[in-house]
Amino acid sequence: MNIEAALTDLVGEPAKKLHTARSRNDQVSTDFRLWCRDAIGNIVSRIKYLQAALVILAKNNEGLIVPGYTHLQRAQPVLLQHLLLAYVEQLERDAGRLLDCRTRLNFCPLGACALAGTGLPIDRFMTSDALGFSAPMRNSIDAVSDRDFVLEFLSSNSITAIHLSRLGEEWVLWASEEFGFITPSDSVSTGSSIMPQKKNPDPMELVRGKSARVVGDLVTLLVLCKGLPHAYNRDLQEDKEPVFDSVKAITGMLEVSAEFAQNITFNSERIQNALPAGHLDATTLADYLVKKGMPFRTSHDVVGRSVALCVSRKSQLQDLSLDELRSISPVFDQDVYEYLGVENSIKNFSSYGSTGSECVASQLDYWMTRLNINRNT
């Protein structure tokens, strides 16, 4: 209405024709879809930038083995590249959800008017094309009352935020003295107001914290829409603020995460010293026995007893002599040592998508090509 009034001041009577076959209802819905469409494009571009930062980080840490965790307990050795690329895969799904959402929202409400359409000879297909929509919305009531596209958009943002929060949590843990696996540069760290020795990974803590806002914005919209009858209701004026907040938060989270990824160093010596704890090669040893024809459940028991022997002697599986291993099972042979130790474990992973060196190299090559990353970066 303000735009119409301003135009009337400028050109007079002809401006009063501006609202012909239009309502605030279909205009607001159209503008909102246009805004969300642009916002999705901006978010996806930042997702791609973060993906590239993670792929480059992986490329620059070739061959570095880290402990893999389940239940936050040491499980099996994995290549750091493999772990970083796991986040790249998650982000790819995030981008896909947003692009799918953009496809579904790209239908034009303009011309639906208040809710019933109009008897005036308008061409909804022309205005839809002019605004870059796929087609006009088929049902005028649905056109002015639908906010599914907003719910889907904020849902996609929330899933992205959760992925970024998980990345933040992992890096905050790894930056702690207890892990000591990464060191953030001073540019992405903060000190303490009282403790001069502190170097805190605050950016990723903030990423973790901001995820709560993004999820909260989604919940706000869900609750707002849950009891609304058709068609337009003034409640829907409350749908903008959580959307703007969600977009601002997720954009900042992506930018900060990429900046952090570009300013951390993995402490290979500290990681190397941490690898012996937890008998990370135990599952590989069980696989060795399976290859020898032993049923897996039996091999699981045999390796469990082998680990118990190591625990009693405060040694590693690769430190056990062949006679000691054979005292547990005669199936063990000299070639068992080709499976023991984290390096041999990595070499023996070969299934598609695994952490084996060749598999990971193939994954890395795929992402460098897909994201158009310079091989000399």
Single out the catalytic residue among 71, 193, 312, 321.
71
Using CA atoms, how far residue 70 sits from 40, 73, 75, 164, 280, in Å, is 34, 5, 6, 19, 12
Single out the catalytic residue among 192, 315, 350, 362.
192
Cis upstream peptide for 231 (omega within 30°): yes
* H or E, element range at 303: helix 296-313
**Angle formed by the axes of helices 148-174 and 80-105, to 10°?**
170
* Residue 300 a catalytic site member: no
* Residue 71 a catalytic site member: yes
- Which burial class, exposed, middle or buried, applies to 281 when counting CB atoms under 10 A from its CB (0-12, 13-18, 19+)? buried
Cis upstream peptide for 286 (omega within 30°): no
- Which burial class, exposed, middle or buried, applies to 263 when counting CB atoms under 10 A from its CB (0-12, 13-18, 19+)? middle
Query: Is the torsion defined by CA of 177, 180, 184, 188 positive or negative?
Result: negative
Helix/strand/coil for 319: helix
Helix/strand/coil for 79: strand
Residues designated catalytic: 71, 192
